[in-house]
Amino acid sequence: MHVAAGVLVDGAGRVLLAQRPPGKHLAGRWEFPGGKLEAGEDTAAALVRELDEELGIAVDPLSFEPLIRVPWSYGERPLCLDAVIVRAWSGVPAALDAAAIDWRDPRDVDPSLLAPADRAILAALRLPEHYPVTPSDVSVERAATLVRAALARGERLMQWRLPSVSLAEARKGAAGLLPELRRFGASLLLNRDIEGARELGLGVHLSAAQLRELDARPLPPSQWVAASCHDADELAMAVRCGCDFATVSPVMPTASHPGAEPLGWPRFAKLAEAAALPVFALGGVGPHEVAEARMHAGQGTAGIRAFWRA
C-alpha cells in the first residue's frame, strides 16, 4: 500500500496533526494527514486530492518538499509512506475525516501518541542536516572548545566521542557542556555510553555491536537514540531497538577507515530508502555534501574532520 502524508508547516513552524477517528485502524493515534494513492496517481496528485477531502484545503504542489520515505508494516499490512512538506495552501484546515486536528510545535509532540509509521516523519522534522562527531584524538578540554564553537555557529546536534579518555572523564566533560546545550536548545549524544546518557539526560549513539545486544529502546523518547550502521541488517536492528536515526558509512573513501570499501551514493540511497528512520551519510563527506545526501534519500551528513575545519 502506497500512502502520501502531508506535513503542513505554518509560519510559526508548527505542523498539523490529525487524530484517527473511532472505528479505524489505530483509532485515537495522531498522524500527518494524507491517504492512499489511487490507480494512476503519483504522490503529489494523491496529496492534492487527499488534503482537499480530509481538510478542505487546496494545496500548491509547487510548494512540496520531499521529507522522508518510510517503509513500514502493520502485521500483514505493509505500506510505503511518502512524507512531503507542504508550505502553501488556501483555505482553513478542518477535521473533515478525523476525530480532531491540532497545530503543534514538532519539539513538543510526544512520539508515543503518533501512529508508529509517523514517528520517523517527526524525527526527520526535528533533526538538522548536520551531525558532527568530535575528533577522537583530542583532549576533553579541546573537544569542549570545539563543541562550544560549533554551537555558536549554529550546529544543534553533535556526537561526543572521545575513545582516548576514560569514561568518567568523558562524562565529566559532557556534563560541563549542559548549560550551553540548554541555552542553544541543542542535543549532544554520548558515544556508546547508555548509562552516562541516562545520568546526564543526554542522547546516546549506539554501536552496531550494542544493537545486537538490545531488544528495546534504552532511553525515553525525550532523549535521542542513534546508531552506527553499515548495511540493511543493522538498519533493521536500529528500527527494532527504537532508534530515532542512524548513520550509514562509509559513503566515500575516508582516511579514518582506509581499508573499508565505500558504498558510493547509489548504494547509500538504496539503504536509506529502505530504512524506516532518518539516515545521515557518514564517511568522506562534510557539510557541503548535504544537498547530495538529500538527493539520495538521506537526512543530511555526519562527519569529523570536515565539520570541525568548517
What's the pLDDT tens digit per position in 140-187?
999 999 999 999 999 999 999 999 999 999 999 999 999 999 999 999
Same domain, 180 and 253: yes
Distances (CA, A) of 156 to 47, 182, 205: 31, 11, 15
Give the Cα separation of 249 and 281 in Å (integer).
6
Chosen domain end from 126, 150, 179: 126
- Structural domain for 13, as ranges: 2-126
Task: Grade residue 237 by pLDDT with cuts at 50, 70 and 90.
Answer: very high
Same domain, 102 and 144: no
What's the pLDDT tens digit per position in 248-264?
999 998 877 667 789 99
Chosen domain end from 126, 147, 162: 126
Q: Choose the weakest-confidence range: 27-36, 52-61, 67-76, 83-92.
A: 67-76
Name the grid cell of 108.
Answer: 513538543
Q: Give the count of domains, the chain.
A: 2
Give the Cα separation of 264 and 243 in Å (integer).
24
* DSSP secondary structure code for residue 192 in this structure: S
Same domain, 31 and 47: yes
Same domain, 181 and 233: yes
By residue count, the chain amounts to 310
Give the Cα separation of 203 and 39 in Å (integer).
43
pLDDT at residue 29 above 80? yes
Same domain, 45 and 172: no
Q: Residue 261: which CATH number? A: 3.20.20.70
Same domain, 52 and 157: no
What's the pLDDT tens digit per position in 285-305?
999 999 999 999 999 999 998
Chosen domain end from 126, 158, 187: 126
Residue scoring higher pLDDT (128 or 77) = 128
Same domain, 73 and 143: no
Looking only at the bridges linking them, the beta strands covering 300-303 and 130-132 are parallel
Same domain, 86 and 169: no
Task: Grade residue 37 by pLDDT with cuts at 50, 70 and 90.
Answer: very high
Residue whose C-alpha cell reads 554551537 in the numeric block: 151
Q: Residue 86: which CATH number? A: 3.90.79.10
The predicted model gives 25-45 an average pLDDT of 95
Indicate yes or no: pTM above 0.85.
yes
Same domain, 57 and 164: no
Same domain, 21 and 55: yes
Same domain, 120 and 135: no
Residue 207: count of CB within 10 angstroms of its CB: 14
What is the CA 241 to chain-centroid distance, rounded? 15
Give the Cα separation of 113 and 132 in Å (integer).
30
Same domain, 12 and 70: yes
